[in-house]
Amino acid sequence: IMAVKYLDAKRIQGSSVGSRTLTWTFDLASATGSATNGEVGTDWVDSAPNTGCDISSGTLNWNMTRDTGHDNRIIYDLGSALSDTSWVFRYKMTITALNNVTDGNGIQGALLLTDLSNSYHNNTNADCVGLYTQAGNSNAHWNADYVTGFTAGSEAPRDGHNNGTDFAYAISANDVVYVEIIRTSATSITWNLYSDSGYSTLIESETESVSGITGLRYIRTFMGGDDDAQASTLSVSFDDIQIWDG
């Protein structure tokens, strides 16, 4: 199966998820994807025309390249919105390729929780929260960074990185990080990067104050930006995606 939604109390004690209920866990190994529109596995929808943006070999794979149309996206519909005050979003993230040529306008991408369905491209105003990755520009904000990101309805997902904070911990080729995003209230969200699958060895943590972010129903991965030089490469794979709601 592609995803398991737990209806009973499956809880983990003694970690940053506390006694929250594990609501969703995803088995990407049972899915296959292609660079064409349509169903991916059972529930993921692939609207990414770019080669390499797919679910294959047990991971969700994302090659971030020039995409001025902002059309590339793979989306999962959770069926209902998460709590507006309390949830945890975790996943494993691997940088499979990085060539940071800093002479373009930059490329970026993110794995998001959002209220934006698959009917809309990435340049549509929406509420969203995620960890952004970007490269391809000499500006420090674009220079191979992990960035907290969010929007609250008046901006598109591609603009979320402008509202966040650059991690001091920089992107590097073949890097593996375990991402944890925690909503602790209607107005506070924390991003944690860990070096281990047990989420015990913290690399760095950043917390942002937010307002008006509601109705997060969809998981969306996307690419954006416009690397005029078309020389930069940033490729990422995602696995072990889990959500605790409430």
Do 25 and 7 contact (CB within 8 A), yes or no?
no
Please report which confidence band the pLDDT of residue 6 belongs to, taking 50, 70 and 90 as the band edges.
Answer: very low
Token duo for residue 232? 């930069």
Q: How many residues does the chain have?
A: 246
Q: pLDDT band at 99, cuts 50/70/90? A: confident
Q: Measured between alpha carbons, how far is residue 71 from residues 179, 201, 223 in Å?
A: 25, 36, 8
pTM of the shown model: 0.86
Indicate left, alpha or beta for 92 from its phi (over 0: left) and psi (-120 to 50: alpha). Answer: beta
Distances (CA, A) of 200 to 32, 111, 146, 193, 203: 31, 22, 20, 10, 10
What are the tens digits of pLDDT across the range 214-231? 999 999 988 765 545 556
Mean pLDDT of the chain: 80
Across the range 189-201, mean pLDDT stands at: 96
Looking at residue 206, what is its pLDDT?
95
Distance in angstroms (rounded) separating the CA atoms of residues 114 and 213: 9
- What are the pLDDT digits (tens) for 28-67? 776 544 333 343 445 788 876 766 688 888 899 888 766 5
